[in-house]
Amino acid sequence: MFLVGLTGGIASGKSTVVRCLVEDLNCPIIDADVIAREVVLPGTRGWRKIKDNFGSEILYSNGELNREKLGQIIFSDEKKRKVLNSITHPEIYKAILWKVVKYFLQGHRFVVLDLPLLFETKKILPYTTFTVVVSCNEEQQLQRLMARNSYTKEAAEIRIKAQMSLAEKCKLCTHIIDNSGTIESTEKQVKLLYQEFSMCKAFWKLRIIVAFCATSLLGLGLFLCHYLMT
């Protein structure tokens, strides 16, 4: 099975790419942002640790995490961001591992993992065969983030600065999806890339069949040698 790491910057268009992969191509996806929400649901270990470290003022009266408030704290304070990461990331990686195993057991041989911090944390990087960065220019990223979340320019900028820049990520990846044009143009690139990965999948199947045949022939050869010599 091979893993494709999909990443990018905040609001660079990862979810837009994922939507196309799921809805148009029926591709198996693991979304780290969804998992990140699941591991801090009220009553979970992650939730308890956040409450212990950041205090009850970080919760709504019904016990749910006030994500906006926590976001304001951690994006403007690197130390506190590290504390939150040290609580959530081990839980997130465990859940990712289980999902990979589940997809493998279901017979999938190629899974896309949408992980915003793929290059920042590097934990999953060694297990990826390909890494795809969804990119756009800095001004578009800023404008799209401000528009989507109704953030001020300052709030959007501190969130962008909390991550490695898109330009740096583009240097580290194996493939780039340029999301600076229309959504249709992005979808075209996603479909082409999906075809490329699917061909890779076929190539791996072929390698496994060839390896199996070669091992069987070798075994048969050894058996015949042994049979003829005794």
Ligand X SMILES: Nc1ncnc2c1ncn2[C@@H]1O[C@H](COP(=O)(O)OP(=O)(O)OP(=O)(O)O)[C@@H](O)[C@H]1O
Ligand Y SMILES: CC(C)(COP(=O)(O)OP(=O)(O)OC[C@H]1O[C@@H](n2cnc3c(N)ncnc32)[C@H](O)[C@@H]1O)[C@@H](O)C(=O)NCCC(=O)NCCS
Q: How far is the CB of 29 from ligand Y (least distance, A)?
A: 14
Listed in order, strand segments (DSSP E) in the chain are 2-8, 29-31, 110-114, 128-135, 175-178
| Spatial distance between the Cα atoms of 30 and 23, rounded to a whole number of angstroms | 14
Is residue 183 near ligand X by the rule CB under 6 A? yes
Q: No. of H helices and E strands in the chain? A: 10, 5
CB 143 within 8 A of CB 159: no
**Residue bearing tokens 């506190």:** 80
Among 3, 5, 6, 13, binds ligand X (CB under 6 A): 13
Please choose, from the candidates 122, 39, 49, the residue with its C-alpha nearest in 3D space to the C-alpha of residue 87.
49
Question: Over the Cα atoms of the chain, what is R_g?
Answer: 22
Among 4, 5, 8, 128, binds ligand X (CB under 6 A): 8
CB 7 within 8 A of CB 115: yes
Is residue 12 near ligand X by the rule CB under 6 A? yes
Question: Token pair for residue 40?
Answer: 């801090």
Query: What part of residues 106-125 is at the interface with ligand Y (CB under 6 A)?
Result: 115-117
Residues in a beta bridge with 5:
113, 131
- What track of x and - describes contact with ligand X for positions 81 through 100 (by CB under 6 A)? --------------------
Among 23, 24, 33, 138, binds ligand X (CB under 6 A): 33
Among 84, 113, 136, 156, binds ligand Y (CB under 6 A): 84
Pick the stretch among 3-11, 59-67, 69-77, 203-211 that binds ligand X (CB under 6 A). 3-11
Among 71, 100, 119, 160, binds ligand Y (CB under 6 A): 71
Residues in a beta bridge with 6:
114, 132
Pick the stretch among 23-31, 51-59, 84-92, 221-229 that binds ligand Y (CB under 6 A). 84-92
CB 128 within 8 A of CB 113: yes
| Spatial distance between the Cα atoms of 218 and 221, rounded to a whole number of angstroms | 5
Pick the stretch among 53-61, 64-72, 178-186, 198-206 that binds ligand X (CB under 6 A). 178-186
Query: What part of residues 137-166 is at the interface with ligand X (CB under 6 A)?
Result: 144, 148
Q: Give residues in contact with ligand Y (CB under 6 A).
A: 10, 32-33, 36, 67, 70-71, 74, 81, 84-85, 88, 92, 115-117, 162-163
Q: Give residues in contact with ligand X (CB under 6 A).
A: 8, 10-16, 33, 116, 144, 148, 179, 182-183, 186
